[in-house]
Amino acid sequence: MSTLDPAKLKVEYCGGITSSGPIFPRRYTLTHSDTTGELFLTLAPNYAYNKIKPLRDEVLGEWRYYNNKYVFYASVYVDGEFGPDQAERRNSIFIRELPLALSAIRYGDSAFFAANPILKNAPIYVYFDSSISTYNRMEYWGPFSEYN
């Protein structure tokens, strides 16, 4: 796993989303540059589909309210159009890099977490979107307090 370098994280707020709110709708689109190692976090009422590249290695996330508690729901695109031969490799990469991605979201939106401290302990669930049943799953990734 890579370590978060805050200098390489660029954060953009759009569509009325600010560093303090609102919680709903608040969607995160995290992309990166393989060349520079920079991470790009866009926070908006909708996902920033215009920033998603054909490789589909982004992490999408949003806040939800389920069973009387806040939950962070994220998704990654394991195979789809890339086919089953790429699924295992992409799945391994997502597992390896998800801690970095979650740390980038927590750090990039740190003022929001400070304004809403209850969210630091919200559970994170990640949906691995795959046409192959082995890789198509939902996993619990702990609370945001584990990602500094």
Q: Considering only residues 1 and 105, tell me which one the structure prediction assigns the higher pLDDT.
A: 105
Are the beta carbons of 133 and 41 closer than 8 angstroms? Answer: no
Q: What's the pLDDT tens digit per position in 35-82?
A: 999 999 999 999 999 999 888 899 999 999 999 999 999 999 998 677
Sorted by where each starts, the structural domains of the chain and their CATH numbers stand as 6-146 (3.40.20)
One DSSP character per residue, the chain reads: -PPP-GGGEEEEE-TT--SS--SSS-EEEEEE-TTT--EEEEEESS--GGG--TT---EEEEEEEETTEEEEEEEEE-SGGG-HHHHHHHHHHHHHHHHHHHHHHHHHTHHHHHHSGGGGG-EEEEEEE-SSTTT-EEEEEEEGGG--
Burial group, residue 126, by CB count within 10 angstroms (0-12, 13-18, 19+): buried
Amino acid 50 reads: N
Q: Residue 1 above 70 pLDDT?
A: no
Please state, in angstroms and rounded to a whole number, the distance separating the CA atoms of residues 107 and 131.
32
Q: What's the pLDDT tens digit per position in 123-145?
A: 999 999 998 999 999 999 999 99
What is the structure's pLDDT at 55? Answer: 85
CA dihedral defined by 59, 65, 68, 72, rounded to 10 degrees? Answer: 10
Q: Residue 19 above 80 pLDDT?
A: yes
